[in-house]
Amino acid sequence: MVRCFTYNQSKYIEDALNGFAMQQTTFPFVCLVMDDASTDGEQQVIKAWMERECDMNKAETVDIPTAVITIVPHKPNISCTFAYYFLNQNLYREEEQKMKHVYPWQERCQYEALCEGDDYWIDPLKLQKQVDFMDANPKCVLCHTGFKIFEDSKNEFIDCSEIIRRNTKLYDNNKQIMGDILDETRYRVQTVTTLIRLSIYPKVRDILCPYEGKFLMGDTQMWLALLSLGDICFMPEITSVYRVNIGSACNSSLMKYRVRFDLSCAEMRVCMADLFDLDEKLKKRLQSQYQKKLNLYFPYEPNYKVFIPIKFNNVLELTRYYFLRLPVVRSVLRDYYIRKST
């Protein structure tokens, strides 16, 4: 199955849908496309694409309290069926509510590919290659591939050859990979390229249950949980495009939200390094990065509730921590960040 959660991606969603529909496979697959109550006309774009590309004579539509669901086969590609979920209200911070629609599909499928609404696939054999590999390697729980990065604001692709080179490094054990995933400059798993073995997904949910709703992203911790249960495979072939657009959470044009997202990433890294008992040097480095991100965010939110203990290695760090919380300092820093973001 393919899972695509999307919100306000009316400019890009057709690229994602076309990437799903062009997949050439020897097996049937379903594409679950869930629109999270978009406000930019994305639902209308999806419906128009559905009318053009799908066999509407065979469509089944169900109206439930939380969503309108339409299940319809793709017209030219008989292996591909779409399940569209048009949610009635936005569930951005209620991931579990969205996943309740997904679990029944996961129980019926062997693998799950992920793609967000602003990313897309460019290799028509992406799914077939990954499924063939995972069928032949039952210990592999996560397969990902090479990719391109498209920077929307510059309308150009970014060279990813160095990322692909680093991902081909040989590792002695999975904990080394987990540590390098937490440091994205060393190993990078791009969501749009992934295929997951669903038989172990319930165990992943159990591992990450204590952290549900704590972070503004969910991908990295899922890769780590998967690696604690099996092996990862990287295929260097370029199959997908990751789009960097100014409206996404990790690339927000508003400085406050960008700093908040960065802080949440730092919190997640500290928690995951502790959860999976990774290298002590890595833990200290991640703790230091977290406290720096926290210092950057306090001018915006002085009453932010810290849920990760703060550790001071020396008097200077302790002094800096309290100095940055002085009202006059917060005001100056906040004005500076506002000017920087405009």
- Residues in the chain with pLDDT < 50? none
pLDDT in tens, 140-182: 999 999 999 999 888 999 989 999 999 998 898 999 999 999 9
Residues with Cβ within 8 Å of 184's Cβ and at least 6 positions away in sequence, in order, are none
Mind listing the pLDDT tens digit for each residue in 52-76?
999 999 999 999 998 999 999 999 9
Is residue 30 within 8 A of residue 82, CB to CB? The reply is: yes
The per-residue pLDDT for 296 is 83
| 8 Å CB contact between 123 and 25 | no
Please report the pLDDT score of residue 302 as a whole number: 77
Phi, psi of 341 (to 5 degrees): -85, -10
Contacts (Cβ under 8 Å, ≥6 apart) of 179: 186, 273, 278, 279, 282
pLDDT for the residue 185: 75
Distances (CA, A) of 165 to 161, 236, 238: 6, 8, 12
Q: What is the pTM of this model?
A: 0.87
What's residue 299's pLDDT? 79
DSSP 8-state secondary structure symbol assigned to residue 305? -
pLDDT at 306: 83
Residue range 247-277, pLDDT digits in tens:
555 555 577 888 899 999 999 999 999 999 9
Q: How far is CA 175 from CA 17, 77, 131, 332, in A?
A: 36, 41, 25, 42
3-state secondary structure of 210: helix
Give the DSSP letter of residue 114.
Answer: E
pLDDT of residue 254: 73
The 3 state secondary structure assigned to 129-176 is: HHHHHHHHCCCEEEEEEEEEEEECCCCEEECCHHHHHHHCCCCCCHHH
**What fold, for 118-251?**
Spore Coat Polysaccharide Biosynthesis Protein SpsA; Chain A (3.90.550)
